[in-house]
Amino acid sequence: MADQFDPVLRYGGEKRRSDMSRDAETKKYRKLMKEADHLILIYPLWWGGEPAILKGFFDRVLVAGEAYTFESGRVKGLLTAAQVFYTADSPNWYLKWFRKNADWITLKRGILQFCGIQKVERNLFSIVKDSSPEIREKWLRQAYAKVRRACEKGAALCK
């Protein structure tokens, strides 16, 4: 991230996990996430999951009272929709059959749906290391077109 976001979740002593919704360092990000109609996540798949900086972003920004809340003992997500674009050097079949789509299930169900994002679009571009410049250009055009369509549907972030 250009602004040198610190992904490390530090708490203990006077800083408690339950106080994260008041953390001054992440206030800007919590506000942006809460106000967004549509989130767009773009990242490479590393060691079977999102890079540590993105996981740290989730840990520090997607906090109770901001991304989700509890009502009558149940979780209520506060976020809306997302598109996920990610790359992998592994082929799709390997991620599906041998890894059981663990990366996608964790992100979709464990993070995004927990925070209320029931409509989430997956865009996986795989075998990047062996792809040609033409294929990568095609992927970029596809991603651009999908994001553009989301913007045309009214995503405030894109206006």
pLDDT at 158 > cutoff 70: no
Summarize the confidence of residues 89-102 as an average pLDDT: 95
DSSP 64: B
Domain residue ranges of the chain, discontinuous segments joined by +: 17-158
Please report, for residues 67, 73, 135, 142, 155, the alpha-carbon distance to residue 78 in angstroms, rounded to integers and kept in the order given: 5, 15, 37, 29, 16
Tokens standing for residue 146: 């999908």
What rounded mean pLDDT belongs to the chain? Answer: 90
**pLDDT tens track for 49-68:** 999 999 999 999 999 999 99
Mean pLDDT to the nearest integer, 119-141: 96
Top CATH class, 17-158 = alpha beta
CA distance 78 to 95: 30
- pLDDT 10s digits, 10-53: 877 777 777 888 888 899 999 999 888 889 999 999 999 999 99
Interaxial angle between packed helices 27-35 and 52-61, expressed in degrees from 0 to 180 and rounded to the nearest 10:
80
Distance CA(121)–CA(119), nearest Å, equals: 7
Inter-residue contact 25 to 19 (CB < 8 Å): no
